[in-house]
């Protein structure tokens, strides 16, 4: 089945550091990828929709300068948390949608980001 | 607009007994509906999906769900719980007709606990 690889799985770093998270579709092409944030014991919250070759669409309240998204190819999207602070600590999950959009989204295993 | 309500934030069952996780939805269009499972510090795994075919949908690991339009419900069931079923479960709706890969709206999640 379709596999989405997310890397790294866990990051611990100091406040002020920028952190890049990668989301790759391993065996299919993904025209659209989605980035979610999940707080402890809560549901997933959509942050942005990433379309290959164009600018990402951010949800209301999500700072585009804080969370930089790049979707340079049909198999890779990256989320960069710039100048991270402790309040950015969270679980970040990506998903990818196949070119045949009748298929459901496939999710990565998530990245646990901890800012000290 | 679309929304999903998972009626129980926590469900506790004994191993070998039936599981019922409740989900109600609202959608302006004919919805696609999904159940995903999330184990700790992991991404989401698709259990099953409804996209307009049979109203009783069978998924992986013995789970199934029935789409009831009159009740706007999509409850998840399993005849006999296993310890490995303990996890967080999300009911998810996708709007815009039958396009299963479009933007997803998540329910708040239900934590299933299985007692030995």
> How do residues B95-109 score in pLDDT, each as one tens digit?
755 454 567 889 999
When CB atoms are compared, the residue of A9, A34, A104 closest to B49 is: A104
pLDDT of residue A101: 62
Shortest Cα distance, chain B CAs vs residue A115, angstroms: 17
CA distance A52 to B69: 36
pLDDT of residue B100: 47
Q: Is the dihedral of CA A103, B104, A24, A53 positive or negative?
A: positive
Is residue B31 within 8 A of residue B93, CB to CB? The reply is yes
CA distance B37 to B43: 8
- Tokens 């004994």: give the residue: B14
Cβ separation B101–A101 shorter than 8 A: yes
A28-69 per-position pLDDT tens digit: 888 889 999 998 888 999 999 988 888 899 999 999 999 999
Q: Tokens in use for A110?
A: 């998530």
The answer to whether residue B115 scores a pLDDT higher than 60 is yes
When CB atoms are compared, the residue of A41, A93, A98 closest to B43 is: A93
**DSSP 3-state of B81:** coil
Cβ separation A101–B109 shorter than 8 A: no
Cβ separation A95–B41 shorter than 8 A: no
CA distance B82 to B79: 10
- Of the listed ranges A8-12, A99-103, B26-30, B51-55, the least confidently predicted one is A99-103
| A-B contacts (CB, under 8 Å) | 60
Residue B73's pLDDT band, with cuts at 50, 70 and 90, is very high
The answer to whether residue A99 scores a pLDDT higher than 70 is yes
Half-sphere exposure of B3 (CA within 13 A, CB side): 3
pLDDT of residue A100: 65
The answer to whether the bond into A44 is cis (omega within 30° of 0) is no
Beta bridge partners of B91: B35
Q: Tokens in use for B108?
A: 């708040």
Sheet of A67-73, strands arranged across: A4-7, A19-25, A76-81, A67-73
Query: Mean of the pLDDT values across residues B32-42?
Result: 91
């Amino acid at each position: 089945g379709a596999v989405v690889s997310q890397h790294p799985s866990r990051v611990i770093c100091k406040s002020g550091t920028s952190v890049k998270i990668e989301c790759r579709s391993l065996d299919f092409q993904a025209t659209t990828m989605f980035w979610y944030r999940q707080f402890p014991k809560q549901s997933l919250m959509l942050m942005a929709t990433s379309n290959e070759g164009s600018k990402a669409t951010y949800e209301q309240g999500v700072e585009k300068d804080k969370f930089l998204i790049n979707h340079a190819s049909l198999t890779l999207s990256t989320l960069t948390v710039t100048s991270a602070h402790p309040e950015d600590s969270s679980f970040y999950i990506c998903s990818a949608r196949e070119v045949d959009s009748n298929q459901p989204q496939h999710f990565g295993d998530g990245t646990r980001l901890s800012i000290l | 607009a679309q929304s999903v309500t998972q009626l129980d934030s926590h469900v506790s069952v004994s191993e070998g007994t039936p599981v019922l996780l409740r989900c109600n939805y609202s959608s302006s269009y004919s919805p696609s509906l999904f159940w995903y499972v999330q184990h700790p510090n992991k991404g989401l795994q698709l259990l099953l999906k409804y996209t307009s075919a049979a109203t009783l949908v069978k998924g992986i690991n013995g789970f199934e769900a029935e789409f009831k339009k009159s009740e706007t419900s999509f409850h998840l069931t399993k005849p006999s719980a296993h310890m490995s079923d303990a996890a967080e479960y999300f009911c998810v709706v996708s709007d815009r007709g039958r396009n299963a890969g479009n933007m997803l709206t998540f329910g708040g999640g239900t934590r299933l606990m299985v007692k030995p």
